[in-house]
Each structure stands twice: as C-alpha cells, then as structure tokens.
C-alpha cells in the first residue's frame, strides 16, 4: 500500500469528503496526503504570517501536474474550498483554509536552466531564494521580491516587485510561458501564441485562473552586485532626500526603504533600539565601480548607523530565513506620486504616534524598466505609478488588531494621493481588489475568468468574480 494512504479511521476526519473519493485520490496521487490526526499536520498547516489558525480537512503535497489535476478534480466534485500554497506568504491567509483542501506545491522544485538560451523552466514549489541561488551559480538571475522564502508561484502571478524592478522590470516581464492546470483538470501550456488571453491574465491577475505548475523565465546576467543594508537616522529631511536620490539614481539601482522603529537586532547599537531609522536595502545590478558611485549619495544623507553595502553575489541579498518567525500585524498598500518634506513629516509623525511593537512605512521607488512596458500589456496595470508604500503595525497577538488597525487605516488615509491603485501582492483584504485592476483591466480579467473558471473554483485569492460568457 502506498505511503500516502490512510485507514478507515482516518477517513472519518476528512468530513465531508466522501470515503470513496478520498481512497481514489490516495490511490492515484504520488504525493503525500496529510490528515488532521497525522503527526506532521500542525506543521503542514502553518503559514508564514502569525495569527492565521485554520484547520484544513486535507493537505496534499503534490509531486507533479497530474497530482494537481487530481486534487483540483476532488475539490471541484466535492465542493470543498481549495487553497493553493506555493510559499505560504499570503497576507490574508489564502494559502490555507478551514475545512477545505490545501494543495501544497512545496515538493515541486524541479529547475531546468538553459545556459545558452538564458532561460529556465521552474516548478512553482521553488522559493525565490532557491531559484536565485541555483541561477546565481551561473551568474544569472530572474527578479523576484525582497524575501527569499516567498514561493515563486504567488509572487509571479501577482506581478513581482523586487530588487531588479528598475533594471529588468517585474517578474512577469521575464515570464515567457507557463503550464497551468485549469478548473476542469486540463493542463494547458500558455504563452503569447497559445491561449494568449490566459497568458495576459496570469501576468498580474493572481491565482484566479488555475494552478500554475511550471514557469518559463528569461534569465539576465546578474553576477556581482553592489548591495546590502544601509541604516540611517529617520528625519523628514533624510526620508525625502532618500526618495529623491532613489528616483534620480541610475536604473541599475533599486531600493527599498523601511522607515521604522529600530528593532533590538544585534547589529544595531543599543541606543538606537526603539528609535526611528531608515533601514534600507539597496541593489545595484551593474559594474562595481559604477555601483559605488550610485550609492555614494545615500551614504552622504547622514552618518550611517549601519553600512553593510558592499560588492557581493546577487543571491547573498537574500539572508537565511528564520523558520520560526511568524509576524502578526495589520497593513495597507498604496501607490504615491511623490514624497516631499511634508509627506516625510507625516510619515514620521504617524510612526512616532504608534503604540505597536513595531511600526513601519516601506517605500519602494519604481520606474525604469517596469515603467517602459505598456500598461495594457499585462494584468499589472500600474506601470506609471512612481512609488509603492506599505504601512504596517506589527504586534504580538492577533487580539491586538483592534488597537492597532485604526492607526494603520488613519496612516494610509493621511498619505493617500492621486494614485488610487494598489498592488495585489500586498492587498490586505477583498474590499480593495478592484483598486489592483483599474479601468478596463477588471472587465477583461472578469471575462477571461468566465471563460476558464466560470464556477469560480479558484476563489480563495484576491478574487475576480467571473463574467458570464455571452
């Protein structure tokens, strides 16, 4: 008997799954089936963010696209909610479910790198860090986000804004093709010629259309970079000047500035703990000498508290992950047109007023290669947005949300400018999904959803409800 099978006693815990359907799945899939009574269940149901305590009826760690098709069929026929997990970093907990099925891709990690063609086929259980390390061994890279443990499945489908965004664009700008299991269980190969409507939709439209099992990416030559962490005192002048310098920097330089209360990290002087700092991550993807020149203006903004910026291989920008780190918090994401001295003062005032364990405003300067792609080319329609800001309060317990969430909402409202959009990868709930897909993008996505998933089987996401086919 296969290792993934369970006895009749175990089946009683898979309600309302039919016993026959469960046994058929157990016989047909290569991957591991995990039930609530199994020793590894609690670990398997845990996602990245804390405060999300859901108990799926069944977790399936699939091995291949055939397994995925089997699990999709079970969800379709049983009516149980289906959660798709790549890295488990959904801020709203979409990577898991109460009483439904979790399709866990973490065992699907095959990576085929074509060095001559500068492309890679990657299964979607890979993390950004795993992919980047493997590609980096050849001096090559595809841009993902700023966290190595994020699954490439979720970040790619949402767009992908990271350390190479100004130099090489979004993750989806390097997506050449994908293999996707649809709601009817069929595996489709999609690209610019085969199912071009679906290919358009999965580049920014999230997990609404199917389960992506493999991606075909373009690789860029990114060997030695100049990058790392630079910590500066957070005054309104430093914040505004940092944004101006990042906007004026060469496109080879992408920056992420976290204006925040300094945590008690060992590399920070004790006298800084609890004070506002700019904890910035910088990546210059180009020649070392030019990179040092590009970063010099940032070092000149104020006496650095910590300066870890140096030449390094690109994979080093992803530090080792803390496996037991599960942050609890509330957040809001938005795009801004500008951050001048007045806006910087607003940021400082609100951060100083927070009573959270940690308060942060994360600032990402956009533009460059990302902005040169036409807005209608993909489902990511924010090509003209200049600055992405995420504000958040982190705290110890989920029941503290009532105290800190109003501060987050007020902070976001105080910063709001003319750009009403939002990045779907950081959206905090269903109420603002249309902000992620402005204008005709929403209608086009809803129509494509109606063609490929009319019953809305893939609904545990930032959901786009299907438009009925005419």
How far is Cα 419 from Cα 386, in angstroms, rounded to an integer? Answer: 9
151 pLDDT above the threshold of 50: yes
pLDDT band at 3 (very low <50, low <70, confident <90, very high): very low
pLDDT band at 322 (very low <50, low <70, confident <90, very high): low
pLDDT digits 0-9 by tens, 202-226: 999 999 999 999 999 999 999 999 9
What is the average pLDDT across 305-334? Answer: 91
- State how far Cα 82 lies from the chain centre: 19
Alpha helices by DSSP H, 79-195: 128-136, 152-158, 165-168
- Tokens representing 362 are 């994360």
Question: Which of 205, 257, 264 shows the shortest CA–CA distance to 232?
Answer: 257
What is the average pLDDT across 126-150? Answer: 97
* Model pLDDT, residue 287: 97
* Model pLDDT, residue 323: 66
What is the average pLDDT across 59-78? Answer: 96
pLDDT digits 0-9 by tens, 287-316: 999 999 999 999 999 999 999 999 999 999
Distances (CA, A) of 83 to 47, 56, 58, 98: 12, 9, 10, 10
Task: Write down all domains in the chain, each with its CATH number in brackets.
Answer: 8-104 (3.30.43.10), 111-221+440-452 (3.30.465.10), 224-431 (3.40.462.20)
279 pLDDT above the threshold of 90: yes
For 84, list phi and psi in degrees, rounded to 5. Answer: -110, 130
pLDDT digits 0-9 by tens, 359-377: 999 999 999 999 999 999 9
């Amino acid at each position: 008997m296969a290792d993934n099978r369970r006895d009749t006693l175990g089946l009683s815990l898979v309600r309302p799954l039919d016993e026959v359907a469960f046994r058929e799945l157990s016989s047909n899939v290569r991957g591991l089936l995990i039930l609530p009574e199994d020793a590894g269940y609690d670990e398997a149901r845990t996602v990245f963010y804390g405060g999300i305590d859901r108990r799926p009826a069944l977790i399936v760690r699939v091995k291949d696209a055939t397994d995925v098709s089997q699990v999709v069929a079970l969800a379709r026929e049983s009516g149980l909610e289906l959660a798709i997990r790549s890295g488990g970093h959904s801020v709203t907990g979409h990577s898991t479910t109460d009483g439904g099925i979790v399709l866990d891709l973490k065992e699907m990690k095959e990576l085929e790198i074509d060095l001559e063609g500068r492309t890679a086929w990657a299964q979607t259980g890979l993390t950004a860090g795993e992919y980047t390390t493997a590609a980096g061994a050849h001096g090559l890279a595809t841009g993902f986000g700023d966290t190595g443990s994020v699954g490439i499945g979720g970040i790619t489908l949402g767009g992908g804004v990271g350390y190479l965004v100004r130099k090489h664009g979004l993750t989806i700008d390097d997506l050449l093709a994908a293999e996707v299991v649809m709601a009817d269980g069929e595996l489709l190969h999609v690209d610019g010629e085969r199912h071009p409507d679906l290919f358009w939709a999965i580049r920014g439209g999230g997990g609404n259309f199917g389960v992506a099992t493999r991606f075909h990416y373009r690789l860029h030559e990114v060997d030695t970079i100049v990058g790392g962490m630079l910590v500066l005192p957070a005054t309104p002048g430093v914040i505004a000047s940092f944004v101006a310098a990042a906007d004026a920097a060469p496109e080879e330089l992408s920056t992420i500035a976290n204006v925040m209360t300094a945590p008690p990290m060992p590399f920070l002087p004790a006298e800084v703990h609890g004070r506002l700092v700019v904890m910035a991550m910088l990546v210059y993807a180009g020649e070392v000498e030019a990179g040092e020149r590009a970063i010099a203006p940032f070092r000149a903004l104020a006496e650095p508290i910590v300066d870890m910026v140096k030449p390094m291989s690109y994979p080093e920008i992803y530090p080792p992950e803390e496996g037991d780190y599960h942050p609890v918090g509330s957040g809001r994401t938005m795009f801004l047109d500008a951050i001048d001295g007045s806006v910087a003062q607003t940021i400082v005032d609100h951060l100083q007023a927070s009573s959270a364990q940690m308060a942060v405003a994360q600032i990402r300067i956009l533009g460059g290669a990302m902005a040169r792609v036409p807005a209608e080319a993909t489902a990511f329609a924010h090509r003209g947005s200049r600055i992405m800001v995420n504000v958040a309060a982190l705290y110890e317990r989920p029941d503290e949300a009532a105290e800190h969430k109003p501060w987050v909402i007020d902070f976001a409202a105080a910063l709001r400018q003319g750009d009403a959009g939002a990045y779907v990868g950081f959206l905090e709930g269903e109420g603002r999904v249309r902000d992620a897909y402005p204008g005709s993008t929403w209608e086009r996505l809803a129509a494509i959803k109606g063609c490929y998933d009319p019953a809305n089987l893939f609904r545990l996401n930032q959901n786009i409800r299907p438009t009925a086919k005419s």
